[in-house]
């Protein structure tokens, strides 16, 4: 898998996900069907190399979308519906808090990405991600994803959008997004290469006073990587989101980390 382009129309009740996958067939398995992992997804449409395909070319199984007759390098586009408010397993995209006051976030390790969209959800398959988020400006004023912001703006229907590009190839379990009402503690870090990186820790206002220590730890970690390994952070910004409803500990997502605030 070479490239993943994702587009989200975000809402707690239902979110529409459009995915564009650039795939290269394994030459050692020329006759194999294309199997895309997926669970709890409602398929709304599928295209192969820009053309809609009939039901005779694909089938939806309990845990996969299987496409037949795929050869060489192909582009697979899918459109799906998911329901974050009903995702009580907290794998994939789910709601933290209430529908009116909560925010949306993802947990994709180890196999949560298959609850977001159809894809090859394996840790040994790497791709570059471009992610576009659209949501209501009042309910979801903050839109975050991995990578750097490549554009943002307002839409005529009361929504807004933001696009993130992550140049670093990564497995699907490192995908992350957050959308909702959050306050932030912000700072900057000057790398040894002379680049100034924007730092932000996002959380509910009730716990924001506890984030200063986290910010100090983040800057110390940047400095340790530079001094110990000679490695500087490569993106323009680094975001951390703290939430009560998160089931994992440490994570290595590029540009956007999510932690439990308890």
In the chain, where are the structural domains located? 3-180, 183-260
Count of positions (residues) in the chain: 262
Superfamily of domain 3-180: tricorn interacting facor f3 domain (2.60.40.1730)
Mean pLDDT along residues 156-177: 97
Would you say 164 and 149 are in contact if contact means Cβ atoms under 8 Å apart? Answer: yes
Burial (Cβ within 10 Å: 0-12, 13-18, ≥19) of residue 225: middle
Closest listed residue to residue 193, CA positions, set 149, 231, 148:
231
Would you say 168 and 174 are in contact if contact means Cβ atoms under 8 Å apart? Answer: no
Whether the per-residue pLDDT at 10 is higher than 90: the answer is: yes
Question: pLDDT (tens digit, 9 = 90+) per residue, 85-137?
Answer: 999 999 999 999 887 778 999 999 999 999 999 999 999 999 999 999 999 99
CATH of span 183-260: 3.30.2010.30
Phi, psi (5° rounding) for residue 180? Answer: 160, -165
Q: In angstroms, what is the C-alpha Rg of the chain?
A: 19
Closest listed residue to residue 108, CA positions, set 128, 124, 123:
123
Mean pLDDT along residues 164-182: 97
Percent of the chain with pLDDT over 90: 86
Read off the pLDDT band of 19 (50, 70, 90): very high
């Amino acid at each position: 898998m070479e490239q993943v382009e994702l587009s989200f129309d975000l809402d707690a009740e239902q979110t529409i996900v459009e995915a564009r996958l650039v795939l290269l067939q394994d030459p050692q398995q020329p006759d194999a069907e294309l199997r895309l992992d997926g669970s709890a997804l409602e398929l709304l449409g599928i295209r192969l190399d820009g053309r809609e395909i009939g039901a005779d070319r694909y089938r939806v199984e309990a845990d996969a979308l299987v496409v037949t007759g795929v050869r060489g390098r192909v582009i697979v586009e899918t459109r799906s519906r998911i329901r974050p408010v009903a995702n009580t397993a907290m794998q994939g995209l789910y709601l933290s808090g209430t529908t009116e006051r909560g925010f949306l976030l993802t947990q994709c390790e180890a196999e949560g990405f298959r609850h977001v969209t159809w894809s090859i959800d394996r840790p040994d398959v790497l791709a570059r991600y471009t992610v576009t988020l659209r949501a209501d400006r009042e309910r979801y004023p903050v839109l975050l994803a991995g990578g750097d912001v490549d554009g943002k703006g307002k839409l005529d229907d009361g929504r807004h959008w933001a696009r993130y590009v992550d140049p670093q190839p990564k497995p699907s379990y490192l995908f992350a997004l957050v959308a909702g009402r959050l306050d932030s503690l912000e700072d900057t870090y000057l790398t040894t290469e002379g680049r100034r990186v924007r730092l932000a820790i996002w959380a509910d206002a009730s716990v924001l006073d506890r984030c200063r220590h986290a910010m100090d730890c983040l800057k110390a970690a940047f400095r340790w990587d530079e001094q110990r390994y000679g490695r500087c952070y490569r993106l323009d910004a680094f975001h951390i989101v703290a939430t009560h409803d998160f089931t994992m500990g440490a994570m290595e997502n590029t540009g956007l980390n999510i932690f439990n605030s308890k």
